[in-house]
Amino acid sequence: MAPSKNTAAVTTYGDHEVIVPENKLRKAVSTKPFAPGDDPIARAEAALADLSSEFSTWMDSECERLDKARRMLSTTGCTGANKEALFHAAHDIKGEAATFGFPAMAAASDSLCRLLEHTPDPTRIPIMLVDQHVDAVRAIYREYARSDAVELARKLTQRLREVTDEFLAHENRDRPEVLAQLKAPSILPEA
Amino acid sequence: MVRIDFNKLRFLVIDDNAHMRRMVRTLLHGFGARDVYEAEDGAAGLEAFTHYVPDIVITDWAMPIFDGLELTQMIRQPGANSNPYVAIIMLTGHSEKKRVMSARDAGVTEFLAKPISAKGLYQRIVNVVANPRPFVKTRTYFGPDRRRTNNSTYVGPERRKGGKADMIKQPALVEKYRAPA
């Protein structure tokens, strides 16, 4: 596909340039009002709802992927590639949990991500703690239909997070910038 | 609400997770988009960027080969590709302050934390289409102006030299279409 040429107005200042590129997206801003009842966000939410019958199967495959990554790490060691694979699997579950209808899975996955990301020496990551996280994530998914599932998930995750934070505080005791980062809340507003 | 003709925009969605790509594609089609292309890692994403010349790139952060941050840095190279000014929305599970700052400093236009929502994605797209920011080029940075607001209470040292560019005014299309002619 042949790209069209970029044009831009450039103003030079003491140590920087300010560039106002041609706004090629202007073509998409419509001056026409929305038709009565036309709501693109509602349309997209409805389209996503149509897809939701597949979410449980998708989460099932994500849990399988997490378990497979955990087994690889347990048997061949906490190498760079194994750690990355487990981190990505946990990270994806954290991001998808709410959308797929299993929001209580996100916190346990997040705790595992923190453990993997912030332990300075990967060989010191306790495999038992990794196993407990993976088992917790899978159990929360498996038992989600229970009436007390969310409360059980909260208690389980809270304990995992406490143990993880204690371990990370010890492992990073000489790294104040990491300790500060671990305690910092997210700065993002709600979506 | 500003009305966007999504069928006039071309999207590139880059994510190694097929489920997430399918969800983003579904939302975009729901908004009315027709041209939605996909890539499953940073390298394929860069190739698709060159081939399809998208208007808006929606990328994950954590991906194999090279990640969303590296991809952004490769796109934001003046003269190295057809559109270094392309709008980049980073859609990621990372939401820590350090990560958000890194994404901003790599030249990401908008940041959207997972879990994804139709409203959140729509707002980011409206923002990049109807309220584009000028670009700033320094010795160490090339990307959208990182100053989104004019903080009148700021008392620290002025880091930009040259006076006039403290706050770069750019008329927002969003205001133009809201205000009566």
CATH number at residue B18: 3.40.50.2300
**CA distance linking residue A70 with residue B54, whole number of Å:** 37
Q: Of B75-79, B156-160, B163-167, where does the model show the most confidence?
A: B75-79
A180 touches chain B (CB under 8 A): no
Of A16, A21, A186, the CB nearest to B85: A21
Q: Residue A181: is its pLDDT beyond 90? A: no
In this structure, is residue B154 part of a structural domain? no
Query: Where does the pLDDT of residue A190 fall: very low under 50, low under 70, confident under 90, or very high at 90 and above?
Result: very low
Question: Which A positions 42-71 lie with beta carbon below 8 A of chain B?
Answer: 42-48, 50-51, 58, 62
Write down the pLDDT at residue B95.
79
pLDDT (tens digit per residue) in B18-76: 999 999 999 999 999 999 999 999 999 999 999 999 999 999 998 888 899 999 999 99
Q: Residue A113: is its pLDDT beyond 60? A: yes
Q: Count how many domains chain B has.
A: 1
Query: Where does the pLDDT of residue B96 fall: very low under 50, low under 70, confident under 90, or very high at 90 and above?
Result: confident
Query: Where does the pLDDT of residue B181 fall: very low under 50, low under 70, confident under 90, or very high at 90 and above?
Result: very low
Q: What percent of chain A shows pLDDT beyond 70?
A: 93
Write down the pLDDT at residue B179.
39
Task: Output b/e per residue, A16-44; b: 16+ Cβ within 10 A.
Answer: bbbbbbeebbeebbeeeeeeeeeebbebb
**CA distance linking residue A119 with residue A110, whole number of Å:** 14
In this structure, is residue B1 part of a structural domain? no
Write down the pLDDT at residue B173.
44
Instruction: Kindly indicate whether the ipTM for this predicted assembly is greater than 0.90, answering yes or no.
Output: no
Query: Where does the pLDDT of residue B180 fall: very low under 50, low under 70, confident under 90, or very high at 90 and above?
Result: very low
**Residue A105, min C-alpha distance to chain B (Å):** 12
Write down the pLDDT at residue B159.
64
pLDDT (tens digit per residue) in A75-105: 998 888 999 999 999 999 999 999 999 999 9
In this structure, is residue B80 part of a structural domain? yes
Strand order in the sheet with B142-144: A8-12, A17-21, B135-137, B142-144
Write down the pLDDT at residue B157.
65
Q: Residue B143: is its pLDDT beyond 70? A: yes
Gyration radius from chain B CA atoms: 17
In this structure, is residue B74 part of a structural domain? yes
Write down the pLDDT at residue A182.
85
Query: Where does the pLDDT of residue B140 fall: very low under 50, low under 70, confident under 90, or very high at 90 and above?
Result: confident
Helical pair A80-100 and B18-31, crossing angle rounded to 10 deg: 40
In this structure, is residue B153 part of a structural domain? no
A99 touches chain B (CB under 8 A): yes
Q: What percent of chain B shows pLDDT beyond 70?
A: 81
Question: Which B positions 5-44 lie with beta carbon below 8 A of chain A?
Answer: 5-6, 8-9, 16-17, 19-20, 22-23, 26-32
| Integer angstrom CA distances of residue B33 from A102, A133, A146, B29, B122 | 28, 39, 39, 5, 12
Q: Which of A41, A61, A116 to mutate: most B Cβ within 10 Å?
A: A41
In this structure, is residue B60 part of a structural domain? yes
Q: Which of A53, A92, A116 to mutate: most B Cβ within 10 Å?
A: A92
Q: Which domains does chain A have, with CATH numbers?
A: 56-183 (1.20.120)
10 Å CB burial of residue B72 (0-12, 13-18, 19+) is buried
In this structure, is residue B125 part of a structural domain? yes
Q: Residue A74: is its pLDDT beyond 70? A: yes
Nearest chain A alpha carbon to B126: A29
Range of the domain at B88: 6-148+160-178
